[in-house]
Structure 1
Amino acid sequence: MRRLVGRATGTCVLKRHVDALGAGTFDLLVVGGGVYGAWTAYDAALRGLRVAIVEQGDWASGTSSTSSKLIHGGLRYLEYHKFGLVRKALRERNRLRQLAPHRVQRLRFAIPLYGVGWRMRLKLRLGLILYDMIARAQRPLHGHESLSRQRMKQKYDFIKRDRLEGGFTYGDCQTDDARFTLELIDGALHAGTIAINHASVLRLTEDRGAIVGAVVEDRLEGTTIQIKAKFTALCAGAWNQTLLEAAVPGSTLKTRFSKGVHLVMPALPTSDAFLLLTGERGRVVFLIPWNGRTLLGTTDTPFEGDPRNARCLAADETYLLDHANAVLKDVQWTENDVIGRYTGLRTFMDKAGDPSSLAREWSLAKPYGGVVASVGGKYTSARVDAAKLVDHVCNELGRDPGPCPTAQRPFPWRPEGRYRSWQQRTLDQSLRLGLDEETALACQLRYGRRFEVLLRMIEKMPRLARRFVPETPMCIGELVFCSRYEMVANLQDLLRRRLPLTLIATLPEQRVRLAAAVAGKILRWSNERQIAEVRSICGEISGP
């Protein structure tokens, strides 16, 4: 199979080969470039299938970049006796930690207890014991600990003390969800997949009782392509039902949505995360350190209507701030402290129940010939779910599925050799080249072994080591690297997903102009295009 991956200065260039979409017939067309679509395309390509994946926006531009950024088992699902779901997620957490140490980092959680009484404390203790037991000795984390009131006050002196009864700590992991997905797309490309972002499926094509491909519009060039495929996998989350109903009226695929809102808040004086009990069964609120800020989330409310209209409402913001302020002692956050907001939609098979009571179980729907739909699931366990989907496709195509190729395969950007040795070596090199330590450590996690390419760029042009924005651990060289190598089409791609700058910082217009100039030089944007890109971030501006 022809390998449509460029090479430059020792690293892969993620390229859009749109013309290849119309060449021949694919074994599998994947619709949707979130984490489920990315795992599916990567797995299928590694098994020798001819694969194409298309995404109407950017990679991970939907729910896969609007999560809580956690790789975890889902402690709260034990309350609903979802032991199989938790077991699967914890096994994957352990696996991902081994396969991608640069992508999945340890994170300690604290659970402060306020006026809950001994019964709730005992219930939580038993749940944490079970959580540790399910994870077994393979877990890459320390087990839970019970903390007295005094120890909680000493360890977390910024939380309120009134009615504090003590608490617990336990271990889980976190990630950068957008870059996690991007790395899988790169792996799929390297395995031979044709991967195109900013390509909308106008309609699925149907012939003689089966879906046989799709008509796709390249939103960057305005061209339309007919894709032929023996099998199609819908991994488009909230869009699955709409796509299928347009092609097959009366489709049996019925889904529902739950809206999850997160706020980006100032940093707290701890590297630990917090799980806050809300008093509502099945609902918790997280405070999670991330890129020098705190993620506060999430809501879990029913949503109906056009997925594009899902927004953070005033009620969502108040709900989250109230729960945080009920615990924080030294600060009381208001809407003026909110740095950023983001909203995602979780998709479920349509059945009764409050969204919080519906565990993130995955379903493989088979609503029509030649097509399957991936519905629901958890970010953490997407790999194993995608493997089942590819097993099904192989069987339908009369191919031997064989063993799952992603189960033991290191992530595409995992550094070779001993990870800690690589960390120390690249950190020492970074400091010699003028990167500050916080930025260097963050770059190790963002780029994995590709960080060495960035360092070579900085060695040739030392000014690239400067921070783009003083308060964020991201350097100017990253704008160059991402624009050159990571399939960036516009400033939203660059400043929201390749780098989460618009989430964690209020960018001055002058900085956005600089980003447009950097990206524009590499992507050959005209002055008019650069102005338009700046407007997309900042709103209307005057002058070039």
Structure 2
Amino acid sequence: MAVNHKIFDLVIIGGGINGVGIAYDAAQRGLSVLLCESGDLAGATSSASSKLIHGGLRYLEQYQFSLVRKALLEREVLKDIAPHIVWPMRFCLPHQKYLRSPWLIRLGLYFYDHLAKSSFEKSKSVVFANASPLQDSFATGFEYSDAWVDDARLVIVNALAAQACGATILTRTQCLNAKVMQLAKHPEPMWQLMLQSQTESFSVVGKAVINAAGPWVNQVLDQVFAASSPYQVRYIKGSHIVVPRIHQQDKAYILQNSDRRIVFVLPFQDNFSLIGTTDVEQTQLEDIKISVDEIHYLLDVVNDHFKQQLSPADIIHSYSGVRPLFEIKQSSVNNRAQDLSRDYAIFSHAKINTPPLLSIYGGKVTTYRKLAQQAVDCLIRTFEDLPPSQTHKLPLPGGDISSRQQLFQQLSTTYPFLPTDLVTRYSRSYGSLAFNFLQNAQNLRDLGEDFGHGLLQKEVDYLLQDEWAQTAEDILWRRTKLGLYFTQQQQDNLQAYISNLKTAG
């Protein structure tokens, strides 16, 4: 292993959005960085979100103005640095007279529009016509703006950005244990970490460590570092279902339920609607999947609002993730899941004669970049010449485009043999990275075997070689969303191709 016994400025444990965001920020500032992830990048919570970059309109009711403003500022930044995978979306909020008064909603939307300087379209009141997909009982409502994101690809492009700045990204590599060590040529103590890949064990040395293990943050502290934290992690499961598209507009719907929770209905991958999410407390992190009760909850909310009625038989796909929300241990307040903060905390396990160890708690996809910046700022005492972060103004890989529409035209002109749906998918998944696997192709045959639904061999090879994919699942659900279309036989054929490549390699 090329990194065996190598000394890094920073070792990061966890390859979700927070981990890769920290890796990119630190590497961009000149630190030598290693990130280890026990599974695939975005393999857990970071690929199981509602796919939104948003301030969190409902958090205004909880008086979390600072969190909302921070998120709205980041919404603007992410739209600019990742225009291929982040784009504005209009949200329609049907008015439920018995839940919230119109003046309260208007006031909340006014704050939402003005808490941070924004280029997004402002909110407005709307009147629903007969052609509305909503039931006739909904006569009025409101529209406002937020943004869509491909969450898993946001993780991947941050990992690519970190790697381009010199970071080492190791997937399927678990951190087994850590101990403090002293090297003769280095006056400060360091961490020696034992890592386990799929094929071997090896050690690395880190001047500092950041534990960004998400739901497993306290497990890593206990099992790897024999350390504790003042925070306890609450495992809150959020589940989503995917059904055939139930409305044709590009806008999303935000539905208010009688329990004062909200459910999103989002246009998804052209042909589907994504519906979620739930808030269900978990006691463990194994076998995380949607329950029958959650299915009925989501369907009931949608059926209470839309003319088109859904049943469990309409569900094409579902997924669940665990949000690692946190609170002070032994808290006397028994908070409901929906009342726990969605903000983040960075905890320093500061001890004399011990190298820096930080743990990351909570957070949202929307604020990952700000979290990463603040986490690296916490290391300024260790790395005194650390320059300020520049990630707010540097395009993420694939995002060096003026717009997805412009890229669509460029791809269509350069590769006129590509079907329109393929150009659309490449534009919104890869941005300019699509040229990495299209290169000098003169016709569709040059891109190799079609594994189904436009997944061509050159794209698969690129994902295996350059984006850390190792299995059909990695490709079909995290690098793309083509798993929505693939039959079991097509999945098996793709996995056989990948396995043959590994054997030949």
Q: Deviations over 1:162-191 (max 9, x none)?
A: x31311111111111111100110111111
- Deviation digits for residues 182-201 of structure 1, max 9, x if unmatched? 01101111111111000112
Structure 1 residues 405-449: Cα deviation after superposition (integer angstroms, max 9, x where no partner): 21211112223567654332213334x11x222321121111111
C-alpha separation between the residues in 2 aligned to 1:495 and 1:173? 23
Output the CA distance in 1 between the equivalents of 2:339 and 2:35.
33
Match of 1:212 in 2: 191
State yes or no: 1:483 paired with 2:476.
no
In structure 2, which of residues 427, 440, 461 is the aligned counterpart of residue 444 of structure 1?
427
What is the CA-CA distance between 1:480 and the residue it aligns to? 3.5
* Higher helix content, 1 or 2: 1
CA contact (8 A) 2:326 2:340 kept: no
Paired letter, 1:145: K
AA matched with 1:51: V
Summarize deviations over 1:458-485 as a string: whole Å, max 9, x none.
4355374897545xx7556533432343
1:346 to 323, 336, 350: 323
The alpha-carbon distance between structure 1 residues 172 and 249, as it changes in their structure 2 partners (threshold 3 A), is closer
1:160 alignment partner in structure 2: 135
Which of 315, 319, 335 is matched with 2:312 structurally? 335
Residue 111 of structure 2 corresponds to 130
Aligned twin of 1:405? 390
Deviations, residues 273-294 of structure 1 (Å, cap 9, x unaligned): 110001223x210011121221
Matched, 1:176 2:150: yes
Kindly report which structure 2 residues correspond to 1:44-59, keeping only aligned pairs within 5 A, or say none. 44-59=26-41
Where in structure 2 are the equivalents of 1:114-513 lying within 5 Å?
114-116=96-98, 120-136=101-117, 138-139=118-119, 141-150=120-129, 153-154=130-131, 156=132, 158-161=133-136, 163-206=137-180, 212-219=191-198, 221=199, 223-246=200-223, 247-248=225-226, 250-268=228-246, 269-281=248-260, 283-292=261-270, 293-305=272-284, 307-330=285-308, 332-351=309-328, 352=333, 353-369=335-351, 370-395=356-381, 397-416=382-401, 420-430=405-415, 432-433=416-417, 435-456=418-439, 458-459=441-442, 461-462=444-445, 464=447, 468-470=451-453, 477-502=458-483, 504-505=484-485, 507-513=486-492
Instruction: Say if 1:328 and 1:403 are closer, same or farther in 2 by CA, change over 3 A.
Output: same
- Mapped to 1, the partners of 2:500 and 2:422 lie a distance apart of 24
Q: TM-score, normalised by structure 1?
A: 0.84
- For the structure 1 residues 211 and 82, does the alpha-carbon distance in structure 2 shift closer, same or farther, using more than 3 Å as the test? farther
Q: Secondary structure at the match of 1:243?
A: helix
Unmatched runs of 5 consecutive residues or more in structure 1: 1-18, 527-544
Aligned partners of 2:180, 2:389: CA distance in 1, in Å? 30
Question: In 2, Cα distance between the equivalents of 1:302 and 1:257?
Answer: 6
Aligned length: 488
- Residues 193-219 of structure 1 show CA distances to partners (whole Å, capped at 9, x for unaligned) of 111000112223346998714211102
Paired residue type of 2:397:
P
Task: Output the amino acid matched with 1:304.
Answer: T
- 1:531 corresponding residue in structure 2: none
> Contact 1:439–1:475 at 8 Å: present in 2 too?
no
Task: Decide whether aligned partners of structure 1 residues 453 and 416 sit closer, same or farther in structure 2, where only a CA change above 3 A counts.
Answer: same
Q: Equivalent residue of 1:459, what SS? A: coil
Distance 1:102 1:147 in 2: 30
Alpha-carbon distance between aligned partners in 2 of 1:291 and 1:525, rounded to the nearest angstrom: 35
Contact 2:279 2:337 in 1 (8 A): yes
Aligned residue number for residue 540 of structure 1: none
Q: What does residue 185 of structure 2 align with?
A: none
Alpha-carbon distance change, 295 to 213 in structure 1, aligned in 2, over 3 angstroms:
farther
CA contact (8 A) 1:30 1:234 kept: yes
Counterpart position of 2:55:
73
C-alpha distance in 1, partners of 2:92/2:159? Answer: 34
Q: Find the aligned partners of 2:502 and 2:106 in 1 and give their Cα distance.
A: 55
> Counterpart of 1:110 in 2: which secondary structure?
strand
CA contact (8 A) 1:256 1:348 kept: yes
Shift of 1:116: 3.2
1:107 matched to 2:89? The reply is: yes
Question: Measured at CA, do residues 148 and 421 of structure 1 come closer, stay the same or move farther in structure 2, by a change above 3 Å?
Answer: closer
SS of equivalent to 2:293: helix
Task: Confirm or deny: 8 A CA contact 1:21 1:52 kept in the other structure.
Answer: no
Inter-CA distance 376–322: structure 2 relative to 1 (3 Å threshold): same
Kindly tell me: are residues 227 and 308 of structure 1, through their superposed partners in 2, closer, same or farther at Cα, counting changes over 3 Å? farther
CA gap 1:479/1:321 in 2 versus in 1, 3 angstroms? same
Does the CA contact (< 8 Å) of 2:92 and 2:251 recur in 1?
yes
Q: Deviations along 1:134-172, whole A, 9 cap, x unmatched?
A: 233x32x2111201244xx44x2x2211x3131111111
- Residues 326, 341 of structure 2: 8 Å contact kept: no
Does the aligned pair in 1 maintain the 2:53–2:149 contact within 8 Å?
Answer: yes
- Asked whether the equivalents of residues 260 and 345 of structure 1 are also in contact (C-alpha less than 8 Å), the reply is yes
How many Å separate the matches in 2 of 1:465 and 1:126? 55
